Structure 1
């Protein structure tokens, strides 16, 4: 039987690890189609995640492996660390909280076996049970990034997917420090099929994601895969420069036509100055985001640091 390597990022997931492993073991026994090679990545957890993974690896050393980071480097680093270790025929990325339905794996496996696709991904068909505000901004993010970037991302797309070795090797070749996996999966190309599924609640515990982390993640995606914000800054600067030139010409003409005219509109002038000043600061902020990304890239720091691995 072929082997599926499964990358499972974990951050403070002591309540879900054993539940996840039991569910996956049951699936493997029921389908009898493939074997599993697990790569759990402890992303600097503060709870008992590390010790639970050590116990699980000791009990099931034939298929369970783990990587433990020296600190929290983020999910993107955890995914990349797992990709660098997998040896299976196919590679899957899954969340440990079972929000990614394990029962979809056999169908994904069969589709790759047919040879038509290089990757079978998943996308949520709805956001039932999710915070309405987060749902609104998530939907807005996909609309914005798909308009601004040539790298298209399927709305509701998840990291949960099954990939061939060729696609995994292509992703591993992208060694950038600032990582946005949804964009990277799309950018490398390869023929991908997306399967929809209904949103699920976590099996246990609570999510470490909040509105601000998701917002930061969205900004990372837009900056990493689009020059749109820079174009916005350029166009705003052009528009206000032309407007200023027109205004100066109008003032000069008015002065020649009516030398005695008084200059009125102090409040409107102050409002315009504040508006233009605000736009200038916004554009500087956009430039700062890109310069900050360049700063992190040129330092060539490691994407993650391993404390323990088995």
Structure 2
């Protein structure tokens, strides 16, 4: 009996890229005729004709399931919806812009069927075509998060990976609202084979990830998988308190021994502003953690499905 590969494809304004992607994934799936395929396209509230394109494709290919959100919930929610609705023994995630080459799937499946690995993940070995400043901050993020958290994230790691059912079930069990899949993949464990590949440009359309969005996403990753920022806030308070006590002691001794008055309003102002800035910085760190807790406590659904072509689709999850 053939094993099934469920392929999850998050889409946001991918009207131009979808025809190219479907043509390539059809070619690859035809070559992998020893597997059955389930193609789950998740329309993340696109504003172009992505949904119409998916409807046309599903009309001629019964392997296609499309799930259209009521609004843009983000890529993490789209992937989570795919995981919940996937039925295959193997589950893959990949982008529709062709930056995740479908041609790697046969090799990825071969590693899984060998029984040695539970997951085959991909990583870019270069960042050609990417702005240098963006590459610099991306590499810095990977170094920082691996040092301060339990998440095992390889530099250049993509969301593109093929996993066994057991690993997918473990990911689904992690039902937090604030999701950072690259960290979740590492946190759940399982034995992973890393598959390097050369960076590929988008086949069509424009990237949806601005520098600011990537910066916010990286902060989410650090907050979701590390308590080190909270420790920094605590130790900053202890350090500044110690310094303040030493300065007070120094001033008192100088006044008693030499009778020098305490002078210099400018230096005093600078110190007050410095300490005030540290306090606001620490409050900001605590506020970020509180905001994540607030979102989790509200138990809002990760996504809401507006339209789908599959009756048994899980339309929202809390």
> What range is the shorter-chain TM-score in?
over 0.9
Distance in 1, matches of 2:207 and 2:222, equals 23
Q: CA offsets, 1:245-264, max 9 Å, x none?
A: 111111111111122x1222
Distance in 2, matches of 1:263 and 1:284, equals 31
Question: What is the Cα deviation at residue 33 of structure 1?
Answer: 3.5
Instruction: After superposing the two structures, state which structure 1 stretch, 50-59 or 175-184, moved more.
Output: 50-59
Aligned twin of 1:247: 247
Secondary structure of 2:112's match? helix
CA contact (8 A) 1:33 1:106 kept: no
Aligned twin of 2:44: 43
Aligned twin of 1:201: 201
Distance in 1, matches of 2:29 and 2:231, equals 50
CA contact (8 A) 1:178 1:297 kept: yes
Aligned twin of 2:315: none
Which runs of 5 or more structure 2 residues have no equivalent in the other structure? 310-318
CA contact (8 A) 2:3 2:36 kept: yes
Question: What is the Cα deviation at residue 309 of structure 1?
Answer: 1.5
Secondary structure of 1:168's match? helix
Q: CA offsets, 1:102-123, max 9 Å, x none?
A: 1111111000001011000001
Matches within 5 A, 1:78-93: 78-93=78-93
Question: What is the Cα deviation at residue 274 of structure 1?
Answer: 1.1
CA contact (8 A) 1:94 1:159 kept: yes
Question: What is the Cα deviation at residue 90 of structure 1?
Answer: 0.3
Question: What is the Cα deviation at residue 191 of structure 1?
Answer: 0.5
Q: How many corresponding residue pairs?
A: 308
Please give the TM-score of this superposition, normalised by the length of structure 1.
0.97
Q: CA offsets, 1:19-76, max 9 Å, x none?
A: 1011011112234332321000000000000111111111112x10010000000000
Aligned twin of 1:288: 287
Q: CA offsets, 1:260-283, max 9 Å, x none?
A: x12223222211111111111110
Confirm or deny that 1:308 pairs with 2:307: yes
Matches within 5 A, 1:1-310: 1-61=2-62, 63-259=63-259, 261-310=260-309
Distance in 2, matches of 1:237 and 1:152, equals 30
CA contact (8 A) 2:123 2:154 kept: yes
Distance in 2, matches of 1:206 and 1:183, equals 26
Distance in 2, matches of 1:132 and 1:157, equals 18
CA contact (8 A) 2:15 2:53 kept: yes
CA contact (8 A) 1:44 1:73 kept: yes
Distance in 2, matches of 1:12 and 1:116, equals 38
Distance in 1, matches of 2:16 and 2:57, equals 13
Question: What is the Cα deviation at residue 130 of structure 1?
Answer: 0.6
Secondary structure of 1:68's match? strand
Q: CA offsets, 1:81-116, max 9 Å, x none?
A: 000111112000000001001111111100000101
